[in-house]
Amino acid sequence: MAKHLSGRRPPRIGDAPKFRRALIGIVLFFVAVVVIAPLAVIASHAFSKGLPYFTAAIAEPDTRHAIMLTVLTALIAVPINTAFGIAAAWAITKHDFPGRRLLLIVIEIPFSISPIVAGVSYLFVYGLQGLFGPVLEAAELKIMFALPGIVLASMFVTAPFVARELIPLMQAQGRDLEEAATSLGASGWRTFFTVTLPNIKWALLYGVVLCNSRVMGEFGAVSVVSGNIRGQTNTLPLHIELLYHDYDAVGAFAAASILATLAVITLVVKVALERQGAGRRSRPASLAGNDSLSEVKP
């Protein structure tokens, strides 16, 4: 229908050639300046002193430690938030309870609050001078300026990701499938693993991927609670900043390129998942009788 059959008919709104060219031009320019150029610069700077320097920068113990810490944080925070996201989506979409709508809003709070606010508030709660400070000190539990604090801050920031992906999908699917499975005699767990999970798996993976990329890249909240102890509580994003302030530009760019690589991998996985019918806006693949879901056998 995009073709103009006759010149007499005015183009549809926003379809004039001049407007179209200008619009596309502006977008391309914007993407080049804002997105492509910085990424290209990271890559070129990271390799500017040659591959050996790059590998040496990566092999530097503090950088390696930062990478390991970031991965470890993700390994803890992402599964917990995934479980939380599924539980929250399940509770909100399959059950009626007072405060359901409020919970929906509360889950979204981390999206709208600046991560640094989250970091500072954690400090007030778990820090030495904080609410639970004396108790934690007495129990010799170190949460602030240690791994638990980093994980907690990361979890706060990424809490909504999985739930936000699942809720619209599960709302669209309704409760019929679970009710059908239960009426046929399936237990709750059985229902979840053989009926619910296969129908939300792509959206779930999509949420996990988004959650993971955010955990790995989180800077603001973590920078408050980690204490920036080199080789101990420095995550990769914090370490990059540290290297940069040390005037080790190549080291900083090398570390940044690692983080960027992780992000690009995430992006590729995300696009692949979107092709499978995940993502919020697409119709639930399951309802369309998508063949790609057919490999799942209970």
Partner 1 sequence: MKIRLDNVVKTFDTFRAVHGVSLDIESGELLALLGPSGSGKTTILRMVAGLEYADGGHIYFGTEDATDIPVRDRGVGFVFQHYALFPHMTVSENIAFGMKVSKVKRSPEAIRERVEELLALVQLSGLGERFPGQISGGQRQRVALARALAVDPRVLLLDEPFGALDANVRRDLRRWLRRIHDELGITTLFVTHDQEEALDLADRVVILDKGMIVQQGTPEEVCRHPENAFVMRFLGDANSLPATVRDGMAYVQDVAYDAAGLADGTAEVLFRPADVAWREDGQGVPAHIVRVLDRPDSRRVLAKTTGGQSVEFDTAPEFPHRKGEAGFIDVRRPRIYKNG
Alpha carbon distance 161, 171 (integer Å): 16
The DSSP secondary-structure symbol of 32 reads I
Residue 298 touching partner 1 (CB under 8 A): yes
Residue 99 touching partner 1 (CB under 8 A): no
CB of 209 closer than 8 Å to CB of 266: yes
CB of 168 closer than 8 Å to CB of 280: yes
CB of 35 closer than 8 Å to CB of 263: no
User: To the nearest whole angstrom, how small is the minimum distance from the Cβ of residue 96 to partner 1?
Assistant: 9
Residue 229 touching partner 1 (CB under 8 A): no
Residue 131 touching partner 1 (CB under 8 A): no
Residue 283 touching partner 1 (CB under 8 A): no
Of residues 118, 144, 195, 273, which one binds partner 1 by CB under 8 A?
A: 195
User: Smaller CB distance to partner 1: residue 77 or 285?
Assistant: 285
Residue 291 touching partner 1 (CB under 8 A): yes
Residue 176 touching partner 1 (CB under 8 A): yes
Q: How far is CA 55 from CA 39, 42, 49, 70, 201, in A?
A: 19, 15, 11, 19, 38
- In terms of Cα–Cα distance, which of 60, 58, 37, 36 is closest to 47? 58
Tokens encoding 8 = 């007499």
# of chain residues touching partner 1 (CB under 8 A): 27
Of residues 228, 266, 282, 290, which one binds partner 1 by CB under 8 A?
A: 290
Residue 288 touching partner 1 (CB under 8 A): yes
Alpha carbon distance 65, 48 (integer Å): 23
User: To the nearest whole angstrom, how small is the minimum distance from the Cβ of residue 283 to partner 1?
Assistant: 12
Residues contributing to the site for partner 1 (CB under 8 A): 176-177, 179-187, 190, 194-195, 198-199, 286-291, 293-294, 296-298
